[in-house]
Structure formats: structure tokens, C-alpha cells
Amino acid sequence: MAELGEKSALAKPIEGAKKGKVKVSVRDICTGARIEDATVVVEGQKKQTDSQGEVIVDELSMGTADITVSKHFKEADYIKFITHRPAIIRSYEAKSSEKDLALVEGGETAKVRVEIPVYKVVETVLFSRIHLRFRPELEYGHWWIEVGEKSYGWWPEEGHLGAKEMEEPLPPPPLSKNAGIVAKLMHKVETAHYAAKKARYTANYKAAGQYAQAIGKTFAGVPGILNGSEYQKKIERDPHHGGMDDGKTDEDYRPVIVDCRTRSDIHKAIRDFSFAYSGDWSWRFEFGRNCHTFQKDAMKQLALAMVKKL
């Protein structure tokens, strides 16, 4: 920006003086990339920047000239959620605007570089949602985040209705007649482990009913698991990954940013957030800690609340 201060009597146009020009170069404030088709207004004259992000405004009187640069990044028009469920949103236009000054001298071309924030859709990140369905049969929904070929979602423990179905455990094979002391000790450990797994399995499928058990756990809470895998906690693939491509999702969004973070910065932030997420999984009408709050917390804490609906 030109350090010219306020306009004064000395900076007023001089009658009969030669006219001057201003060459305005519009750039991305983060990368310095040239911005085409930005609107430049200099002392009432409006023009658009060319493929080099530049425009020349001539026939300007000597003195200081006001410059206003604006750009509407239509492909990045975004929404923000007032509430997520039910979805109440507010729409926004992705517009940037900056002002500057130029000193115009007769017969000369003043050069001014104006940097503006650029709105960008992060094409490698996807917020996907499948909602609860009651017909033709009860189907639990799920919300998750896809980052390229990786994805992250918050699940209840295995065996809980809506999570992975729990397989009935098998008892350890019987000991041979000639088993030694070590083998016998190992068999006792395996038998005890089996008894614990069997008790857990039976609790999930006892006469009270699988659905009754599920409802109780849904409100009371069960251990939460990243991507539904208790034994592979670092797995980076949600079971519903690719749902949008398969036509199975109800809503899909990509984040919109207007800062200088790179894709790598955002990918790492999402991964770090996902691995740090911990605690019980529970559902209490949009409260508790579940796949919905996981996605909403990521949007809020990682400054990804501006999204484009697909």
C-alpha cells in the first residue's frame, strides 16, 4: 500500500495538467499468484484484470487516486450451519475486497500491487453424512470425514447395535493328554479370556432383546472407537468410506477456507484431531459424544466451519 496519508489540498487535481495512468496488479495474499477477472475501481473507472492479473487505468488527474479491488469467487460460495440436525443454514458469497492508494503524476504510470484473500474449496476433504432410517428396517446413520484415501469417524464399541456385529467367541481347543505345565497354564489363560468374551457376547444378545440393549447403551454410553476398530486403533479407513461415490450418503460437504493453510496443513490437522479424540460414545439427541459431535467438533476446532454443499 502506498504510504500517502490523507488527501490534502496539495494532492488535488491540477487544472490543465497532464493526465497519468495507474497499473494495478492483483495477487493472492498467500501465494502471490495473479488473479484474473478481479474488479478494479480507480476514481470511478471500473475495469477487470486480465489473465496476468493486471489492469491499466488511464486518463487520471494528478494527485492521489483511490483504488478498490474486489473479487467474487463464485465456485467457493459457502454455507454455515446454525444447527446441524435439523439442518438450518445461512448462505454467504465468497467475496474479497481491499483498498489502496496511488500517486498519479502527469505523463507517468504509477504501479500498485494489491493483495487480496482468496476463497478456496478444499477438494481433498469431504464431510459425509448418512442419517438414521426406520424403514424398510432400522438402520443407524453415520457421519465421517474423508481425507483423500483416508477417513475418520467415531464409533461405539464392537457389539453395540449400529457398530460392527459381534461374532460369537469360540472356546479354546481341548488340551492333549500329554500337555505339559506351560501348556496347561496357557490353556487356563485362554479359557478365562474366552469366558470374559462369552459373557460380553451374551450380554449383548440376551433375552431382553438386542434393541433394548442398544437403546440403553446409546444413552448410557459405551467406549468410543476411531473408525470402529477396537484392536487396530490407528486404522485410517472408516467403514463407510466412499459412500458419496456409491450413492449412499444423504449430505456431503467440502470445506472452504480463506486463509493461508495448505492441503497438507489441513490433512495433518484432521488426522491429529481424529487420533486425539477420546472418551465414551453416546447419543442424547445431538448431545453426548458420537459421530455427529466428532464431525461438528472437527469443523469448529479446525476452523473448517465454512462448507460447500455438494
- pLDDT range class, residue 170, cuts 50, 70, 90: confident
Please give the mean pLDDT across all residues of the chain. Answer: 84
The mean per-residue pLDDT over the stretch 97-121 comes to 95
Residues 98, 147 within the same domain: no
Distance CA 246, CA 276 (A): 29
Same domain? For 47 and 149 the reply is no
With H, G, I as helix, E, B as strand and everything else as coil, classify residue 163. Answer: strand
Q: Which three cell numbers stand for residue 266?
A: 489441513
Give pLDDT, residue 283: 72
> Worst-scoring range by mean pLDDT, 138-152, 160-174, 176-190, 196-210?
196-210
Q: Are 239 and 157 in the same domain?
A: yes
Burial 207-235 (b: 16+ CB within 10 A, else e): eeeeeebbeebbeebbebbbbbbeeeeeb
- For residue 148, tell me if it sits in a domain: yes
Looking at residue 161, what is its pLDDT? Answer: 46
Cell of 30: 498467500
For residues 265-292, average pLDDT: 86
39-54 pLDDT, tens per residue?
Answer: 999 999 999 999 999 9
Mark whether 151 and 19 lie in a shared domain.
no
Would residue 265 count as lying in a domain? yes
End residue of a domain, out of 76, 101, 119 = 119
129 lies in the same domain as 144:
yes
274-304 core/surface letters (b: 16 or more CB in 10 A; e: else): beebeeebbbeeeebbbbbbbbbebbeebeb
Looking at the structure, tell me whether residues 235 and 260 fall in a common domain. yes
Q: What percent of the chain has pLDDT above 90?
A: 58
258 lies in the same domain as 148: yes
- pLDDT in the model for residue 205: 58
- Say how many domains are in the chain: 2
* In a domain? residue 75: yes
Q: Does residue 229 share a domain with residue 115?
A: no
Q: Is 141 in the same domain as 115?
A: no
Whether 9 shows a pLDDT value over 70: the answer reads no
pLDDT at 221: 64
CB 54 within 8 A of CB 38: no
Backbone angles phi, psi at 64, to 5 degrees: -85, 140
Same domain for 92 and 129: no
Cβ atoms of 221 and 287 within 8 Å: the answer is no
For residue 193, is it within any domain? no
* pLDDT tens sequence across 232-274: 555 889 989 999 999 999 999 999 999 999 999 999 999 999 9
Instruction: Using alpha carbons only, give the angle 284, 289, 290 rounded to the nearest 5 degrees.
Output: 90
Residue 308 predicted with pLDDT over 50: yes
Question: By three-state DSSP, how is residue 10 classified?
Answer: helix
Whole-number pLDDT of residue 158: 60
Q: Which residues pair with 256 in a beta bridge?
A: 121
Residues 275 and 294 in one domain: yes
Residue 171 has a CB neighbour count (10 Å cut-off) of 11
> Would you say residue 39 lies in a domain?
yes
pLDDT at site 17 = 67
Q: Which domain holds residue 151?
A: 125-171+209-309
Specify the CATH number for the domain of residue 102: 2.60.40.1120
Q: What is the pTM of this model?
A: 0.73
Domain-located, residue 102: yes
| 88, 119, 150 - which closes a domain | 119
Q: 86 and 166 share a domain?
A: no
Position 220 in a domain: yes
Last residue of a domain, one of 102, 119, 136: 119
* Sequence-separated (6 or more) residues with CB below 8 Å from residue 118: 28, 29, 30, 31, 33, 35, 71, 73, 96, 258
Q: What is the model's pLDDT at position 198?
A: 79
Asked if residue 162 belongs to a domain, the reply is yes
State residue 207's pLDDT score: 45
Q: What is the mean pLDDT of residues 84-89?
A: 90
- 15: pLDDT strictly greater than 60: no
